[in-house]
Structure 1
Amino acid sequence: MLKAVCYRGLRMKHYDLKRALLIFSLFCIAFFVVLFWQQNSAIDEVSQLFPVYKKSPLLKKERKLPYPPQWHWQCNGKHCERQKVAPGVSAVSLSTCSMLCGSTQLWPQPSGPVTLGSKTATFNHHQIQFKADAKEPAATLLNHAIEIFKDKVLDYVQDVNYTVHDTDVEKILVHLKVQHADVVRLRLDTDESYHLTIKSKAHQLSVNITANTFFGVRHGLETLSQLIWWDEYSKGGMLRIIKNASVKDYPVFSYRGLMLDTARNYMSVDTLKRVFIGMSANKLNIFHWHVSDSQSFPLILPRLPKFAKVGSYAPDMTYSPEDVKELMLFALVRGIRIVIEIDTPAHAGSGWTWGPDEDMGELAVCVNKQPWMLYCGEPPCGQLNPDNPKVYEVLETLYKDLLDMTKEDELFHIGGDEVNLECWQDSLSSATQKKYGDFHDLWGDFTLKALESLQKANGGKRIPYVLVWSSNLTKRPYVSKYFNRSNIVVQSWGSSQWPDTLDLIQDGYKVIISHVDAWYLDCGFGRWRETGDAACDPYRTWQTVYNHRPWTQQGVNKKQVMGGEICLWSEQVDETSVDARLWPRGAAFAERMWSDPSLDLNTFSISEDVYLRLNTQRDRLVARGLRPEAMWPQWCLQNPGMCL
């Protein structure tokens, strides 16, 4: 009996427990339903305030839908004045006001006469038609340039549905004419000038771009893309173009270079393409690729694959011959030539250590030697071994690979700076020690042998322009002893206050200017190590870059200045930050090289026009997917003249 009572009590306890669990479960379900409903309601409220925009197949990145205008701009003299939008007032966007008020929004500013009309027209990208008047081989390049231009126009579009709206024109016919179709490779004497006209008739615009070469037409298309913009106030967003224009344009300097170091920090092929996109937008025409250094050797050479095998950071941090070919073509259709530099005899450590394994002896000395401060400018150390005759055989093969890959037979950069004589004195044979009382002469003899290897690699023909970095060897009395004025060009990188550049010009040498105090874009970011000099200061602002005109210095023969080059060494930059380091400072340099505008010699102040045009150019680079540095607060842009 007692057992039965206990059993019934136990069953009742189980029943109560199950009922309690059921009630608890129902309560939890109800709680989560309410929580989920409240969460969705909150999401809906946020969505109304900050809509989620869908990506369109037309657009390469997400775009914002237009909001009702808050401000509009009215041209007053040379300024666009910001005003509140008032009922019944036709609002004018800042972009449209800027294009029509004051100066042009072209960058770089053209060298020749420019006439721009005051009337504009809306259109859509489907209405642009092309007629290319060029024979092969230029015709193929021109077709590529047309497709690139179309992409630039699409980059401006911020609403995929804008084509449903009526436009002011029915057709824009772009006629491209190349006079000399056989010129499909850039050289220093290549004619890059062009003439662009836009004329309106009824509901049609006729655009004509004529040039002697493909490269001139390409520049003309670049300028045409700058006469087009996105007007966010017109029907919620429309493409707009100047209706009448005439631009005659040409570069002041034939060598307009940008140097990028990919040895300290590797940068991908796609990153280099982004650099080319920025260069082409600013009409820079030479990419100086400092591909190797003592830290790494990422370039795969067909005849000497061990360089990259032992010298790259990783197998996927290399550049294959196919990569080089791809980059050459990508650059060519954008008006850029590539000059690859493998620096010698200094800056040669990683990659040069395979000699003993191939019975070639030590190709380099002082590799990773400590304390590094005694043997090189930054770790790791490494310098070619002038005692080893195999070094010159390797250089000949290396140069032949570079010539074959790039097909560049007019310009060739051999490096040649910052040789540490103590490294050689501590590493070379006693016979060499006795032979050279001054190791500058050993350096000079090495250079002569390297130049001989280059000539052999080029089938016995001398390269018309061999580039070398300025150094102690390019100073008196050594420079005239080891460098032939007829084909050696010195890239002068020392301070503009030093006598180096002027001395070279007075001694009859052609120069490319890269003064460290104006055109080194890696400076001003602090030390990256605790020992030794590890940074150049201060930061070179775009104003500093823009104001630098060393060819106006007394005693400089401008005819011997082939051009200039901005330099970005990569100790403290990689592909995540390269855009901001290069732009818009690189654009400021580009205008200095293209048209070399005059400066106020009394104050060296920069006009408001330059600020506004450069900011517009920066916006174009952003539209094309680059991430340039900001120039100023956006308030300054919206209130022209108020910040200067």
Structure 2
Amino acid sequence: MLPFETEAYKMSYVRIKIMKASDLRRALVLLLLLCGVLMVYFFSQQTSRLNIPHLPDTLDSVDSQSAYAAAVKTDARWTWACTKDHCEKVSAATADRIQSLTTCNMLCGNGPKVWPVPSLPSKIGTQSVAFQIQQIQLESFSKKTTFGYVEHAFNAFNNSVASYMQKRDDDLAQIRSEIDNFIVKITVVFAHIVKLRLSTDESYNLTVNLNGKNIVATIQAKTVFGARHGLETLSQLIWWDELDSGGTLKIVSSAAIQDKPLMPYRGIMLDTSRNFISLNAIKRVINGMAANKLNVFHWHVSDSQSFPLEIPSVPQMHRYGAYQNDMVYSAREVTELVDYARLRGVRIVIEIDTPAHAGNGWTWGPQENLGELAVCVNAQPWFMFCGEPPCGQLNPENPQVYEVLERIYRDIIKMTGEDEIFHIGGDEVNLDCWEQYLFKNLTSTNYTDLHNLWGEFTLKILNRLDQANGGKRPTHIIAWSSNLSRRPYNMKYFDKDNIIIQSWGASDWSETRELIADGYKVILSHVNAWYLDCGFGRWRERGEAACDPYRSWQTVYIHQPWSYDPLYKSHTLGAEACLWSEQLDELSLDARLWPRAAAFAERVWSDPKVDPDTYGITESVYTRLTMQRDRMMARGFGVEALWPRWCTQNPGMCL
């Protein structure tokens, strides 16, 4: 069974319409018995229904919750008026109508105030209605195979709405409501699709209407993943208005949204090997991805510094490679995390980088009579053997290396259930390391160009991956761009029908254009725009370590590499923002990711137009991203500030 958080069910009122013929008398008896049970149940639950549930998709953060409360709080001296589709700050003493900034932003203008902005034309009304959270009901028209997913997504939606509220538990019954019921109708067409693929349809249609005294939100989607996106968008059409009757929840009274992603692969890469990051913190990343409709968590779980992942068939890896015993991701925890992510519309792709970036964790070979599995491990002076300390690369001439890798690959596929995409790493191989090792063993003369040794290593591990995957090659194998992915080696060692190159070089480098010209599919992670770890200064004295400057959210947002050449769109499967952890641990994780990863998310979801002459960003983008920051703070994320609060309170005056 999937791990649904049953605690969140307290706020869920699910109505499922099932038509079944039966004997009338028996049905009446059963109905009377059911009514009696329900009366007892409802009486006993009357108080508990009014409690905001624990939010399983967040980790409580006093600072972020306080920041959210401050963000939605309105100073009694001011109000905001909608003038020509633009909110303006005015004195409350002279205003005809008192209105909070959030309400003004949500209802002023015609564009949807959601993030990421829908990719298709959408309409949002300029009127709203107040409601109580306990009025929300679900009508699911999904088959049994998908109902669990829909129910979980609905509970996550309820939790998001609950997080906006600034009321104590015992005040909830006093919240003003203008309706009788808030009905959420969800229809999923293809009930058998419960696993993300690159071909998965993530589109949805969402309508909101006021029918008499009921708000009816209707979500129609081909798959549960589209339905989840629709619920996320619905949660963004709701807000807390603190000025209305002492505070109430509101929703727009009409909306019509059609939406689908531009790209099938929308990823975040997180490195947890330089500094260990706990599973709870990783779950926060996944929650944030779900809130911004990102769908691939690329987990760079090992490197030369550490190997913290338990491989059941090769337990020596984490025993020799983890920083300490409590800094290990167990196989059970990984499997649970995969389920956790899947319920939130995110797939997990684990990368064990090879043949470079492999040192600590690979040092046990001699003790097990397997020879040296890795060479140049912790070698000094390090700058002669690798790009950053400590060094380490796999030994391409030891056949036991390939046997160990096959067992690692088999366990990863088993843990993740991921058989469509597999990441083999493949970046920054230091040929000097290999040359010196091979020279000592008198085998360097076998190669006039060590790129061919690298290429043969790659072909061997691909064959081992086939065996680990039951004799079948995964449909898409991802490798980092490198010297091996450049001409003339790429066509010799990388099958363009099977290998996807994750291009991380700067956007003005020629390598991506050449790859596309050679027919390769690419995932774009340009270092000059989408490396979120850059700009924090040096962490060592020698070598290039800073990759300055800092990539602001504006830099992340305006980057449109596919605009350079029409071939980019046809050969780009997606994009990925990368966060390496040399200068990062979970204490600074939220601020490093958000809101910049949210800016990235809109670029790869709907790719809004950017002025080609000025690369300017419109006021509506600033307003929507500020509102998305508020939502994320409400859910417990420590999101970095965009600008001074004065700019938020005075829309358009800081641009």
Task: Output the TM-score relative to the length of structure 1.
Answer: 0.90
- Asked if residue 233 in structure 1 is aligned to residue 243 in structure 2, the reply is yes
Q: Which residue of 2 aligns with 1:128?
A: 136
Aligned mates of 1:330, 1:279 — CA distance in 2: 12
Structure 1 window deviating more from structure 2 (301-310 vs 504-513): it is: 301-310
Note the C-alpha offset of 1:308.
0.5
Task: Give the one of 259, 262, 279 matched to 2:269.
Answer: 259
- Supply the AA of the counterpart residue of 1:512: I
SS at match of 2:261: coil
Aligned mates of 1:496, 1:163 — CA distance in 2: 55
Q: Which residue of 2 aligns with 1:493?
A: 504
Q: Which residue of 1 aligns with 2:115?
A: 107
- Asked if residue 552 in structure 1 is aligned to residue 560 in structure 2, the reply is no
Task: Give the one of 64, 67, 76 matched to 1:69.
Answer: 76
Q: After superposition, give the CA deviation of every residue in 1:414-460 in whole Å (9 maximum; x if it has no partner).
A: 00010000000111254531110100000000000011110110111
- Asked if residue 416 in structure 1 is aligned to residue 426 in structure 2, the reply is yes
SS at match of 1:195: strand
- Asked if residue 615 in structure 1 is aligned to residue 621 in structure 2, the reply is no
Aligned mates of 1:81, 1:586 — CA distance in 2: 29
Task: Give the one of 362, 382, 391 matched to 1:381.
Answer: 391
Note the C-alpha offset of 1:358.
1.1
- Supply the AA of the counterpart residue of 2:592: R
Q: Is the contact made by 1:131 and 1:175 (CA closer than 8 Å) also made in structure 2?
A: yes
SS at match of 2:424: strand
Q: Is the contact made by 2:176 and 2:245 (CA closer than 8 Å) also made in structure 1?
A: no
Q: Which residue of 2 aligns with 1:514?
A: 525
Aligned mates of 1:466, 1:386 — CA distance in 2: 20
Aligned mates of 2:75, 2:576 — CA distance in 1: 45
Q: Which residue of 2 aligns with 1:535?
A: 546
Q: Is the contact made by 1:117 and 1:245 (CA closer than 8 Å) also made in structure 2?
A: yes
Note the C-alpha offset of 1:57.
6.3
Aligned mates of 1:553, 1:624 — CA distance in 2: 37
Aligned mates of 1:57, 1:146 — CA distance in 2: 15
- Asked if residue 91 in structure 1 is aligned to residue 91 in structure 2, the reply is no
Task: Output the TM-score relative to the length of structure 2.
Answer: 0.88
Relative to structure 1, is the Cα distance of residues 526 and 231 closer, same or farther in structure 2, using a 3 angstrom cutoff? same
Q: After superposition, give the CA deviation of every residue in 1:349-371 in whole Å (9 maximum; x if it has no partner).
A: 01001111111111000000000
- Asked if residue 324 in structure 1 is aligned to residue 334 in structure 2, the reply is yes
Q: Which residue of 1 aligns with 2:353?
A: 343
Among all aligned residue pairs of Structure 1 and Structure 2, give the percentage whose two residues are the same amino acid: 55
Q: Which residue of 2 aligns with 1:461?
A: 472
Relative to structure 1, is the Cα distance of residues 88 and 558 closer, same or farther in structure 2, using a 3 angstrom cutoff? closer
Q: Is the contact made by 1:324 and 1:405 (CA closer than 8 Å) also made in structure 2?
A: yes
Q: Which residue of 2 aligns with 1:7?
A: none
Relative to structure 1, is the Cα distance of residues 133 and 555 closer, same or farther in structure 2, using a 3 angstrom cutoff? closer
- Asked if residue 156 in structure 1 is aligned to residue 164 in structure 2, the reply is yes
Task: Give the one of 614, 638, 642 matched to 1:627.
Answer: 638
Note the C-alpha offset of 1:266.
0.4
Q: Is the contact made by 1:122 and 1:169 (CA closer than 8 Å) also made in structure 2?
A: yes
- Supply the AA of the counterpart residue of 2:79: H
Q: After superposition, give the CA deviation of every residue in 1:488-512 in whole Å (9 maximum; x if it has no partner).
A: 0000000101001000000000000
Aligned mates of 2:571, 2:52 — CA distance in 1: 51
SS at match of 1:331: helix
SS at match of 1:530: coil
Q: After superposition, give the CA deviation of every residue in 1:50-93 in whole Å (9 maximum; x if it has no partner).
A: xxxxxx86576666697872211000112211112127843100
Q: After superposition, give the CA deviation of every residue in 1:156-182 in whole Å (9 maximum; x if it has no partner).
A: 001121431331111111011110110
Q: Which residue of 2 aligns with 1:600?
A: 611
SS at match of 2:443: helix
Q: Which residue of 2 aligns with 1:572?
A: 583
Aligned mates of 2:315, 2:608 — CA distance in 1: 47
Q: After superposition, give the CA deviation of every residue in 1:118-175 in whole Å (9 maximum; x if it has no partner).
A: 1100111100000111113211111111111111011000112143133111111101
- Supply the AA of the counterpart residue of 1:84: S
Aligned mates of 2:308, 2:512 — CA distance in 1: 32
Relative to structure 1, is the Cα distance of residues 133 and 618 closer, same or farther in structure 2, using a 3 angstrom cutoff? same
Q: Which residue of 2 aligns with 1:523?
A: 534
- Asked if residue 146 in structure 1 is aligned to residue 151 in structure 2, the reply is no
SS at match of 2:144: coil
Q: After superposition, give the CA deviation of every residue in 1:495-541 in whole Å (9 maximum; x if it has no partner).
A: 10100100000000000000000100000000011111111010001
Note the C-alpha offset of 1:557.
3.8
Structure 1 window deviating more from structure 2 (368-377 vs 353-362): it is: 353-362
Q: Which residue of 2 aligns with 1:32?
A: none
- Supply the AA of the counterpart residue of 1:397: R
- Supply the AA of the counterpart residue of 1:333: L
Aligned mates of 1:375, 1:440 — CA distance in 2: 16
- Supply the AA of the counterpart residue of 2:298: H
Map 1:211-360 → 2, pairs under 5 A: 211-360=221-370
SS at match of 1:610: helix
SS at match of 1:393: helix
Q: Which residue of 2 aligns with 1:13?
A: none
- Give every structure 1 segment of 4 or more consecutive aligned residues whose post-TM-superposition deviation is greater than 6 Å: 65-68
Q: Is the contact made by 2:205 and 2:259 (CA closer than 8 Å) also made in structure 1?
A: yes
Q: Which residue of 2 aligns with 1:49?
A: none
Q: After superposition, give the CA deviation of every residue in 1:604-642 in whole Å (9 maximum; x if it has no partner).
A: 111111111111111111111001110000100110111
Structure 1 window deviating more from structure 2 (80-89 vs 546-555): it is: 80-89
Relative to structure 1, is the Cα distance of residues 69 and 146 closer, same or farther in structure 2, using a 3 angstrom cutoff? same
Aligned mates of 1:275, 1:255 — CA distance in 2: 17
Larger Rg: 1
Task: Give the one of 617, 621, 641 matched to 2:652.
Answer: 641
Q: Is the contact made by 2:77 and 2:93 (CA closer than 8 Å) also made in structure 1?
A: no
Q: Which residue of 1 aligns with 2:16?
A: none
Aligned mates of 2:166, 2:282 — CA distance in 1: 26
Q: Which residue of 1 aligns with 2:380?
A: 370
Aligned mates of 1:427, 1:555 — CA distance in 2: 45
Aligned mates of 1:613, 1:599 — CA distance in 2: 16
Q: Is the contact made by 1:162 and 1:238 (CA closer than 8 Å) also made in structure 2?
A: no
Count residues in correspondence.
Answer: 589
Q: Is the contact made by 1:448 and 1:482 (CA closer than 8 Å) also made in structure 2?
A: yes
Note the C-alpha offset of 1:276.
0.7
Q: Is the contact made by 2:53 and 2:159 (CA closer than 8 Å) also made in structure 1?
A: no
Aligned mates of 1:302, 1:133 — CA distance in 2: 41
Q: Which residue of 2 aligns with 1:20?
A: none
Aligned mates of 1:152, 1:311 — CA distance in 2: 39
SS at match of 1:175: strand
Aligned mates of 1:228, 1:501 — CA distance in 2: 42
SS at match of 1:351: coil
- Supply the AA of the counterpart residue of 2:536: F
- Asked if residue 426 in structure 1 is aligned to residue 441 in structure 2, the reply is no
Q: Which residue of 1 aligns with 2:514?
A: 503
- Supply the AA of the counterpart residue of 2:322: S
Aligned mates of 2:184, 2:569 — CA distance in 1: 37
Aligned mates of 1:510, 1:165 — CA distance in 2: 53
Note the C-alpha offset of 1:555.
5.5
Note the C-alpha offset of 1:323.
1.1
Q: Which residue of 2 aligns with 1:179?
A: 189
Q: After superposition, give the CA deviation of every residue in 1:232-260 in whole Å (9 maximum; x if it has no partner).
A: 11111110000111100000100000000
Q: Which residue of 1 aligns with 2:42?
A: none
- Supply the AA of the counterpart residue of 1:137: T
